[in-house]
Chains A and B, each alone.
Chain A
Amino acid sequence: MAKITLDNLAHSYSPNPSSEEDFALKELNHDWVDGEAYALLGASGCGKSTLLNIISGLLHPSQGRILFDDVDVTNAPTAERNIAQVFQFPVVYDTMTVHDNLAFPLRNRGADASYVAQRVQQIARMIGMEEQLNRKARGLTADAKQKISLGRGMVREDVNALLFDEPLTVIDPHMKWELRTQLKSLHHEFGHTMIYVTHDQTEALTFADKVVVMYDGRVVQIGTPQELFERPAHTFVGYFIGSPGMNLFEAQIDGKTAKIAGVPVALGAGYAPVGGKVQVGVRPEFVHLSDTGIPARVTRVEDVGRHKVIRLDVEGHKVSAIAEEGAQIPDGASHITFDAAGINVYADDWRVTAKQEAAT
């Protein structure tokens, strides 16, 4: 396993990039700590696949270096980087048995037969395919084939890193749980450095120690799931993480108070004067119906099973609140209030640090 360093890295698909806009991946410096599990999360086109392809060596960056344990591998081809990769769609040899598919990376490196036999058994158990080891891969369902791809990605213990590119897209929801849990236990057990690219927040948050959120070619936040939930560094993180995403309100900030829709709201913390486009961000989990506060109109209540999503209109803007499974929506609910602890302040989309926070 290795530490992976991105040094001054950037990439443009155009041969002569003239402005920042031309870069699919904007300048980035980052250490991927040895043995950590990372998720790379963002919408399609945000640059996450570009970054993954640079790490794996499929793409040569327009600028900067990439180092594995401080050794420059920028010009090393994929085969020399000693990494395992799992892609969105299964890559299996149809004419080989499941067993031989799993054994392939080990045999390729000349591992001895008894080790291969024992390791393949172990992996087969993990992906739940012990029963099918001796059948040919041809004719298996797409998700069975993808399980083989996952197993093959994990079969070698001596790789520098494991890279996953949307590996669970073709898997049924129930199986997703199983495989994700297995990946997670595997990570606990072997401590591989793992980088997992996905556009699915649940996959990213539940899999990773640290989530790297990308937006428009830029890393906007690297943090634990809790940090991304409680203190989104950018309005995009607030929107992209959480379902529904964070509500944003135009506001004026004066010390410990925000004025939203003409109503003063306590912020629970003091702020220095804020310039630019000022917004207050509150996740639906921290919005409550009330008979005082900011005027709001309930437009729709969605029963999502384990909770309810209340859709509201505040001065023509859509706002969401989350209520418990059995919660009754009171008839007279005409206002909303916030939990002060759940409020963040943004200037031109970037989070503003409160005074106490800055002091500590």
Chain B
Amino acid sequence: MTLVLKGVSKTVGGEVHIHPTDLTLEKGTMNVLLGPTLSGKTSLMRLMAGLDVPATGSVHWNGEDVTGMRVQDRKVAMVYQQFINYPSMTVYDNIASPMKLVGKSKSEIDSAVRETAELMQLSPMLDRKPLELSGGQQQRCALARALVKNAGLVLLDEPLANLDYKLREELREEIPKIFERSGSIFVYATTEPEEALLLGGNTATLWEGRVTQFGPTPSVYRRPVDTATARVFSDPPMNFLEITKQGGKLRFGKDAAVALPDALSSLDDGTYTAGFRPNHLELSARGPDAIAFDTILNVTEITGSETFVHLDHHGARWVGLVHGVQTLQPGQSLDVFLDPSRIYIFAPDGTLVSAAQYAEAA
């Protein structure tokens, strides 16, 4: 079972929604489409499902060209952010409906419905109507309907966006287990990097209608191929600043030059964009190589166990995430430290020159 997109694109009224895209999704894999609103996640899913016909390129299912084939004739299940259930049917019948359509036996349907309901924590509500359920329960009912029929391709378009935080957390833990058992190809669209990481599997990052990278989720996170991918796959956003390397010296923005750290010794002379994640900024130097930056603290946000610091570094806005509860005054100057092994180097056009050293090891 594979889904292959070959040079698939989509144009609406002269405006490009999806640039030509090649993508191969294998049997039994979880594939996350990660990107901000309007980056093309839903457009790409609709092309995969056959809800839209691509402007160019073709879609192949198990080697067969299914471009233009109606969605009804394909083994596809889709769940949207706005949950859709039959209001006049009980939860049981809602979950059973996709199986009845394909003519399964009564006992087969019953065991599948009960198993899926248990997984979705809907067992006590099987006799109720969808409108008697909370929003979260309604969405779980819609998810159950997509899962129960064992479609080869299950497309989930931000399915947890309308749910309570804790329920989302529980379902994020459950969904990878469900998909492991089903053997289907899952495609899951989200705007949230943390959700992608929790789901694991593979991630395709989307930016302005382009898939910027596709690969195992942790490796896309730790080795982003360009600044667009790094930006999409970092929450809070990755911090950037311009650096210049000349001989044995390295200059960060307008700061004084420092001796070139070992971690960046292979870099050619020139100007680059350095990127680093908020959680790698620290309030004290961890090693002798740590680089110090003087910043002004704009705002702190305390989560209980950690503190977000919003910083102004010579006009650039940075975010840091540090351990513990830090009592700091907005407006104060603050020295922050960065281990050079945490720095990503990008060329002026945004492509990755070298991944952070720690990421190569992780």
Contact = CB atoms under 8 A, between A and B. Distances in A.
Contacts of A229: 303-305
Given A45-B134, A174-B36, A185-B299, A242 B197 contact: no
Contacts of A285: 305
B299 A305 contact: no
Nearest to A302: B198
B36 A172 contact: yes
Interface stretch (B162-170, B261-269, B344-352): B162-170
Nearest to B192: A173
A177 B301 CA distance: 11
A285 B305 CA distance: 9
A45 B133 CA distance: 11
B211 to A, nearest CB: 19
A44 B135 contact: yes
Interface residues of B, number: 41
Interface in B225-282: 235-237, 277, 279
A172 B41 CA distance: 14
A199 interface: yes
B218 interface: yes
Given A44-B134, A303-B218, A225 B303 contact: yes
Contact of B303 (A188, A205, A240, A304): A205
A147 to B, nearest CB: 13
Interface in A178-215: 180-181, 184-185, 188, 199-202, 205-207
A181 B317 CA distance: 12
Interface in B140-175: 164-167, 169
Contacts of B301: 180-181, 184, 205-207
Contacts of A325: 279, 362
B298 A181 contact: yes
Contacts of A306: 277, 279, 321
A24 B213 CA distance: 49
B37 A143 contact: yes
Interface in A294-309: 302-306
B37 A303 contact: no
B194 interface: yes
Contacts of B194: 304-305
Contacts of A45: 134
B193 interface: yes
Interface in A15-49: 43-45
Contact of B164 (A44, A202, A225): A44
Given A202-B303, A229-B303, A303-B197, A239 B166 contact: yes
A205 B361 CA distance: 33
A326 interface: yes
B165 A199 contact: yes
A334 interface: no
Contacts of B358: 326
A245 B166 CA distance: 9
B124 to A, nearest CB: 15
B302 A226 contact: yes
Interface in B307-362: 308, 310, 319, 321, 325, 330, 358, 361-362
Contacts of A305: 193-194, 197, 218, 221
Q: Which 3 residue pairs of A and B lie closest in terms of their CB atoms, listed nearest first?
A: A229-B304, A206-B301, A225-B304
Interface of A: 43-45, 141, 143, 172-174, 177, 180-181, 184-185, 188, 199-202, 205-207, 224-226, 228-230, 239-245, 283, 285, 302-306, 325-326
Interface of B: 36-38, 134-136, 164-167, 169, 191-194, 197-198, 200, 218, 221, 235-237, 277, 279, 298-299, 301-305, 308, 310, 319, 321, 325, 330, 358, 361-362
